[in-house]
């Protein structure tokens, strides 16, 4: 399976039946637990297009991680896809986000670490974002927590 096929499959599989502030808190705290277990210097952010539902900055993270999280989540909320999937699609087409697409790279980033909150029958309503590790590691942390949470 290619990376693109894997990312598409994750998005089709990791769908919520419902999502609210309590769910955001549960996912956020599960991500904090996972990050602490691996001593990951990350920030964790869960937000809708106009509201932060959860935010945590762990030891070793930096203010720049907050800016990366905002840019990655903007990408997820605009395209309704994981930021890593948007980036992989661009890499396969030998392009990148920028003025050619009417996108300011100071506001959008197609690096891994933001995953769409897709609710069955509704669509994408929020983005779960991790920033502070390598692009693929940020993405993997979210997917691992979602796989555990949504399986239970």
Over residues 105-138, the pLDDT tens digits come to: 999 999 999 999 999 999 999 999 999 999 999 9
By CB atoms closer than 10 A (0-12, 13-18, 19+), residue 99 is exposed
Over residues 27-47, the pLDDT tens digits come to: 999 999 999 999 999 999 999
CATH architecture classification, 3-151: 2-Layer Sandwich (3.30)
pLDDT score of 99: 75
Q: Is the pTM of this model over 0.85?
A: yes
52 has which bridge partners? 47
124 has which bridge partners? 118
pLDDT score of 9: 97
Residue range 66-89: mean pLDDT, rounded: 97
Mean pLDDT of the chain: 96
Answer whether residue 54 shows pLDDT above 90.
yes
Distance CA 107, CA 101 (A): 13
DSSP symbols for 99-137: GGGT--TTT---SS-EEEEEETTTEEEEEEEEESS-HHH
The residue behind tokens 């106009």 is: 50
pLDDT score of 101: 82
Answer whether residue 139 shows pLDDT above 90.
yes
């Amino acid at each position: 399976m290619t990376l693109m096929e894997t990312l598409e499959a994750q998005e089709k599989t990791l769908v919520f039946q419902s999502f609210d502030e309590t769910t955001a808190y549960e996912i956020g705290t599960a991500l904090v637990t996972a990050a602490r277990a691996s001593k990951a210097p990350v920030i964790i952010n869960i937000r809708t297009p106009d509201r932060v539902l959860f935010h945590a900055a762990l030891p070793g993270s930096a203010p720049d991680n907050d800016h990366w999280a905002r840019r990655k989540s903007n990408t997820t909320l605009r395209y309704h896809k994981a930021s890593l999937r948007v980036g992989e699609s661009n890499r396969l087409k030998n392009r990148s986000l920028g003025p050619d697409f009417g996108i300011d790279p100071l506001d959008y980033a197609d690096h891994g670490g933001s995953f769409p909150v897709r609710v069955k029958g509704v669509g994408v309503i929020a983005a779960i974002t991790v920033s502070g590790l390598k692009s693929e590691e940020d993405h993997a942390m979210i997917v691992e927590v979602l796989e555990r949470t949504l399986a239970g």
